[in-house]
Amino acid sequence: MPCSPQCPVNRGRGIAQQSTGKQPSQLDIADLDAALIGAFLDHLEHERGNSARTRNARLAAIHSLFRFAALSHPEHAALIQRVLAMPPKHSDRALITYLTEPEINALLDAPDQGTWIGRRDYALLLLAVQTGLRASELTGLKCGDLHLATGAHVSCHGKGRKDRVTPLTSGTVTTLNSWLSERAGQPASPLFPASRGRALSRDALEHRLNKYLTIATKDCPSLTEKKVTLHVLRHTAAMRLLHAGVDTSVIALWLGHESVETTQIYLHADLQLKEQALARTTPLDSTPGRYQPPDTTLAFLQAL
């Protein structure tokens, strides 16, 4: 099974060539044993300076190749299983960035709602913070994706070609109703158009966000300590749900996560929840007490 130049293993062609004496186009699956794959991964980390996360991404690509090879070349089953058994490297998970309520308010106050662009951007930012939609989902919204009557929600075509429905708060509904009336577009028209009528691009969205962050920082200096992107607004929506006591399985559905495990990052990031859990524990130096039932409980038990 020769490897193509696009094969992920060919990114370590120097190592493979040095080990086997073959050009990348001449490599066969039998040449790519676990030892060579391990040497390639170490090369990425120690010589090219890649992070453990990048190393694991390359290993995942190699695993995909070998899972395909397992179906096509069962004669190499033992070699393939040894490669597939190679575990990812543990890496420290960075805490996510999200906005606090004062920071959210400062950001939403930044657009000039006396202008058409300001009203559009305010509606867009409010929707992003409340729903946690991805940037691609926001830019892809059509006027017909909003349903603002009873059971108000927004429908979007999400990651992995999956449709998702996200509820809207009454405040967001009021803002979007006003925007839809002003927008006066057809159901298939972009909900948030540029000045020429086309949907805003992701770059345009990032540009608008950065502009408003500059304004918001004047009233909320803590924003200077954070690198705020559109994805941070998605994290912010998730953290607001978590603070409101929403279960992580519901948050996973809300955000369109494939697995609840993905949503666990918000639990790790939330110091406030950890402090609340600590406050509910018994202090180590407290004296164990004895339960004293009230008189009503004693009377009830005696009557049994």
Given the residues 22, 73, 159, 226, select the one marked as catalytic: 159
Asked if the structure places residue 301 within a domain, the reply is: no
Alpha carbon separation from 292 to 217, 282, 288, 297 (Å, rounded): 55, 18, 13, 10
Both 141 and 244 in a single domain?
yes
Reduced DSSP (H G I as helix, E B as strand, rest coil) percent helix, strand, coil of the chain, to 5: 60, 5, 35
User: How many CB atoms sit inside 10 A of residue 110's CB?
Assistant: 23
Q: How many Å apart are CA 23 and CA 13, to the nearest integer?
A: 8
Is residue 43 part of the annotated active site? The answer reads no
Is residue 266 part of the annotated active site? The answer reads yes
Both 37 and 140 in a single domain?
no
Q: Are 31 and 18 in contact (CB under 8 A)?
A: no
Asked if the structure places residue 304 within a domain, the reply is: no
Is residue 134 part of the annotated active site? The answer reads yes
Most confident range, picked from 210-214, 240-244, 260-264: 210-214
pLDDT tens column, 169-196: 999 999 999 999 998 888 999 999 998 8
Both 108 and 70 in a single domain?
no
Given the residues 231, 280, 290, 291, select the one marked as catalytic: 231
Q: Please give the average per-residue pLDDT across 49-76, as a whole number.
A: 89
Q: Please give the average per-residue pLDDT across 118-145, as a whole number.
A: 95
Structural domain containing residue 68: 8-84
Is residue 63 part of the annotated active site? The answer reads no
Is residue 234 part of the annotated active site? The answer reads yes
Asked if the structure places residue 293 within a domain, the reply is: no
Both 37 and 165 in a single domain?
no
Both 43 and 105 in a single domain?
no
Whole-number pLDDT of residue 31:
85
Both 169 and 257 in a single domain?
yes
Domain count, the chain: 2
Both 257 and 121 in a single domain?
yes
Is residue 58 part of the annotated active site? The answer reads no
Both 50 and 106 in a single domain?
no
